[in-house]
Amino acid sequence: MHSLYNFVSGPLVWTAFIIFFGGSLYRLIKLFVLIHKKEPFIYSYFSLKYSLRSILHWSTPFGAENMRRHPLFTLATFAFHICLLLTPIFLLAHVTMIDDSWSLSWWSLSEAAAEIMTVIVIACCVFFLVRRLVSPEVQYVTSASDYIILAIVAAPFITGFIAYHQWFDYQTIVILHILSGEIMLVAIPFTRLSHMLFAPLTRAYMGSEFGGVRHARDW
């Protein structure tokens, strides 16, 4: 078990990060090559002003009209994404591990705050699951891959929560926690999770087109 822990927390971590950064770079380069080949005219009306305006409005809770029409989904979505991004970066255990490995450290969340944010992510995953199961308009566009992606996102937080409370066999849960985090990293460039890479670019494109060409808002 100890050798397995050393493997998943050592070489496998590096492999996951290499695939994540390499895959992300590949997807971004592929996107720009495709734009250059098929739609180079996009560059002619790209506007930093309208891009930032669009990104700002879509990054603000209830900033867009569609968000105001679905308040519960909007609250869940923003809470989910904020906690999903901030918890792993500022979790004390993660900061401590990075400090031990590379002598880099930064401010960390209190254990109470990290636990609350972890529960929020898990609760939001449950909310998204129920929504896909009971909402007809969401069911229509849901495939098996959506459930797999939801499980991939939830797994690091569920195993992390269990490990923190030391339920079951601690070392086994920690190994599962590390593995699930690595699986999520590897999945990001090659699944719908890649929207974390493309969302700002999409908003920049939409904002530039609506603001600079159609002279209208895109929210």
pLDDT at position 103? 82
Whether residue 219 is predicted with pLDDT greater than 80 in this model: the reply is no
Residue corresponding to tokens 């992300």:
24
CB 93 within 8 A of CB 115: no
Question: What is the identity of the amino acid at 159?
Answer: T
SS (H, E, C) 30-94: HHHHHHHHHCCCHHHHCCHHHHHHHHHHHCCCCCCHHHHHCHHHHHHHHHHHHHHHHHHHHCHHH
CB 207 within 8 A of CB 218: yes
Q: What letter does residue 210 receive in the DSSP assignment? A: I
Angle between helices 144-165 and 111-134 (to 10 degrees): 150
Residue corresponding to tokens 């939801």:
150
- Residues 12-31: tens digit of each pLDDT: 999 999 999 999 999 999 99
Q: What is the mean pLDDT of residues 153-163?
A: 96
- When the candidates are 3.20.20, 2.60.40, 1.20.950, 2.40.50, the CATH number that belongs to 2-213 is 1.20.950
Backbone dihedral region for residue 206 (phi beyond 0: left; psi -120 to 50: alpha; all else: beta) = alpha
- Residues 68-127: tens digit of each pLDDT: 888 999 999 999 999 999 999 999 889 888 888 778 889 899 999 999 999 999 999 999
Q: What is the mean pLDDT of residues 120-148?
A: 92
Distances (CA, A) of 192 to 110, 115, 124: 31, 27, 17
Q: What letter does residue 193 receive in the DSSP assignment? A: G
Cα–Cα dist 162/175, whole Å: 12
Minimal CA–CA distance to 148: which of 181, 196, 184?
184
